[in-house]
Copies of this chain bind each other. A is one copy, B any other.
Amino acid sequence: MAKLGDVTALAHHLTIGQVAERSGVPHTTLRFYEDRGLISAERTTGNQRRYPRATLRRIAFIRSAQRVGLSLDDIAEALSTLPAHGAPTKADWTKLSKRWRNELDTRIDALQRLRDSLTGCIGCGCLSLRACGLFNHEDQLAEYGPGAPKLKAASEGGI
């Protein structure tokens, strides 16, 4: 039953197990995220990872962003503009945020249309989805949809 004292050695540094437990993200995934450059950790003399508390926020951000359909690459790119440790400059933040705002706004819009069109279809009784906003730019959508393989050159300005 040897346990790492709950009185965590060095209150500001969490072990990978602690981060895994608190964030709900498996430790294997945390190492994976590190490989992909999403998070980072300092090492003890014995080569074990020690995470700053801020990592929990970073992970929360990652999972939130992922949940709404952004790829780890997009997220990594965004996060890379922030220093791993220490406070980012206001300029960094502004730039990152501007790029994301557009993308997020677009996605929020898409979601709302999806939701409202469903609701609308019930409300108006148009059981075949005809005339519902979402479905009437049929030929316009596409452009670049989802898909594992990178169809369009990874990045080209936006996320």
A107 & B142 in contact (Cβ 8 Å cutoff): no
Provide the residues of chain B in CB contact with A118, threshold 8 Å. Answer: 96-97, 100-101, 104
B138 & A60 in contact (Cβ 8 Å cutoff): yes
B141 & A24 in contact (Cβ 8 Å cutoff): yes
Segment touching B, from A5-13, A34-42, A43-51, A61-69: A61-69
Contact with B along A9-26 (1 / 0, CB 8 A): 000000000000011110
The distance from the CB of A158 to the nearest CB of chain B, in whole angstroms, is: 14
Would you call A157 an interface residue if the criterion is a C-beta within 8 Å of the partner chain's C-beta atoms?
A: no
Closest to A24 in B: B142
B69 & A68 in contact (Cβ 8 Å cutoff): yes
Closest to A143 in B: B24
Of B87, B107, B110, B121, which one neighbours A128 at CB under 8 angstroms? B87
Interface residues of A in 88-132 (CB under 8 A from B): 88-90, 93-94, 96-97, 100-101, 104-105, 107-108, 110-115, 118-119, 121-122, 125, 127-129
Provide the residues of chain B in CB contact with A22, threshold 8 Å. Answer: 138-139
Known: A57-B129, A108-B108. A63 touches B142 (CB 8 A): yes
A-side interface residues toward B, CB under 8 Å?
22-25, 29, 54, 56-57, 60-61, 63-69, 87-90, 93-94, 96-97, 100-101, 104-105, 107-108, 110-115, 118-119, 121-122, 125, 127-129, 134-135, 137-139, 141-143, 145-147
